[in-house]
Amino acid sequence: MLDWANPFSILLFLDNNYYKSVHNGYECLLATGSRESVIAAKGGVDFLQQVQQLHDEKQDWMFGHISYDYKNLLEPKLTTRVAVDGFPLLHFFIPETVCYVNREQTVLTIETFGDPALVYKAICEAEPVSPERPIPKLVFNKVISKDKYLATIATLREHIANGDCYEINFCNKGVCEQADIVPLHVFRALNELSPAPFAAYYRVANKYMICASPERYLRKTGNHMLSQPIKGTASRAAEEAKDEQIKETLRNDIKERAENVMIVDLVRNDLARCCETGSVHVDELFGIYSFPQVHQMISSVSGTLRADVPFRDAIRYSFPMGSMTGAPKFNVMQLIDKYEYSGRGLFSGTVGYITPNGDFDFNVVIRSLFYDAKARRLSYQTGGAITYDSDAEREWEEMRLKAWALERIFT
């Protein structure tokens, strides 16, 4: 499907990578081409309202993204100090063709404005994309040096001590200029090394996102809302006994649990703004889940969407996701803009889909590479949550662990 879809100037592929969960909607989905779209530029227009209106009118599939800096349209007092040349603030499109495999992996469905039989034939006959092109060896330059990173963490701990915030997500950027890559090859390599339940391959013209995210931002099924924030990371070990010991250490780590519960409280408050009173519950707290490179601490928070609330408000009241900001959300977004050296763009944002009946599922854009094919610029951002108890060296190592999972494709 991806070899067939690759020539399209807009496409979004979402892959569950065979993870088992009662919350799975599909094993994978692919959207190609654009019939109609909503694209956000700078200004005071309510683009989420436009997405809602287009969906209400067409009652069709919509796929797309919301960049982190859409926060400035939701909170006019927020700014972005460092400009980002990348994806639009928001882009949703009604695709020409949607292909999806059900969660049981037994049926491939093709919905298209053309002939589904012709699409299926074209998929079956698609030639591999540039099979002779190997992935090059590349070196990434970090925007923030280790010394600056450690010094900034010390400054952020002072903000926490002064009561300006409780927890803040701080990130660093890696950049490689003059990178000549085949994005689809890189996605396949990343998906093989780090298969994740919210993986995504996204193209909008010359811009590409290659994503191995393990985190769900928000899912709507009928009137049921679900968010699954991640806070708490530990590296894997090759030996089974040591690996289990690492899991137990993560499960009982006071600092990691404190980070996690702060974000759970934030998510509870976000969902309470659009859900029925008393319906918001923590379904799982401090769950430990294992992925190829890391163990993660994941909690699940759910609620019942009020009947008078359109789906756009569930997004409006919870975006950007608390796991990528910290708490309190407004204050830390101001601090992030002040202390980070790079604009986030689509990183810390979300990609996903809206079904014809108004359900949706969106990921958190982390563990991702971003490629500008025209400028030949390849980049990523990684980081972690800073609390007063944070050890700067340990935070640096966690940030580098996440970066290594992306960089090692090119070594």
| Across 58-63, average pLDDT | 98
CA distance 362 to 359: 10
For a pLDDT cut of 90, what percent of the chain falls above it?
93
Contact 12, 209 (CB under 8 A): no
C-alpha distances out from residue 52 to 56, 384, 397, Å: 6, 33, 42
Contact 372, 98 (CB under 8 A): no
Give the gyration radius of the chain's Cα atoms.
20
Task: Point out which residues pair with 265 in neighbouring strands.
Answer: none
Is the pLDDT score of 41 beyond 80? no
**pLDDT for the residue 132:** 82
Q: Which residues of 217-238 are buried (b: 16+ CB within 10 A; e: fewer)?
A: bbbbeeeebbbbbbbbbbbeee
Q: What is the pLDDT of residues 72-108, one digit of tens each?
A: 999 989 999 887 778 999 999 999 999 999 999 999 9
Contact 169, 342 (CB under 8 A): no
From the list 214, 290, 286, 215, the residue with the least C-alpha distance to 253 is: 286
**pLDDT for the residue 44:** 65
Angle at which helices 329-339 and 146-161 pack, to 10 degrees?
150
Is the pLDDT score of 242 beyond 90? yes
Work out the pLDDT band at 219, boundaries 50, 70, 90. Answer: very high
CA distance 239 to 61: 45
From the list 68, 113, 54, 119, the residue with the least C-alpha distance to 354 is: 54
Q: What is the pLDDT of residues 112-151, one digit of tens each?
A: 999 999 999 999 999 999 888 899 999 999 999 999 999 9
CA distance 335 to 81: 11
**pLDDT for the residue 131:** 82
Give the H/E segment covering residue 203: strand 198-204
C-alpha distances out from residue 288 to 63, 166, 216, 231, 247, Å: 30, 23, 15, 10, 7
Cα end-to-end span (Å), the chain:
28
**pLDDT for the residue 59:** 97
Is the pLDDT score of 162 beyond 70? yes
From the list 220, 297, 294, 300, the residue with the least C-alpha distance to 257 is: 297
Is the pLDDT score of 262 beyond 90? yes
Burial of 118 (0-12, 13-18, 19+ CB in 10 A): exposed
Contact 157, 388 (CB under 8 A): yes
Q: 2-229+302-410 maps to which CATH number? A: 3.60.120.10
CA distance 333 to 71: 9
List the single range of 73-77, 183-187, 244-248 with lowest mean pLDDT: 73-77
| Across 161-181, average pLDDT | 96
- Residue 346: partners with Cβ closer than 8 Å, 6 or more residues away: 65, 67, 68, 86, 87, 209, 365, 368, 370
Contact 104, 385 (CB under 8 A): no
Is the pLDDT score of 42 beyond 80? no
Contact 177, 273 (CB under 8 A): no
Greatest CA span in the chain, whole angstroms? 64
Q: Per this entry, what is the length of the chain? A: 411
Question: % helix / strand / coil in the chain, to the nearest 5?
Answer: 30, 30, 35
Is the pLDDT score of 5 beyond 70? yes
Question: Helix, strand or coil for residue 256?
Answer: helix
CA distance 233 to 70: 27
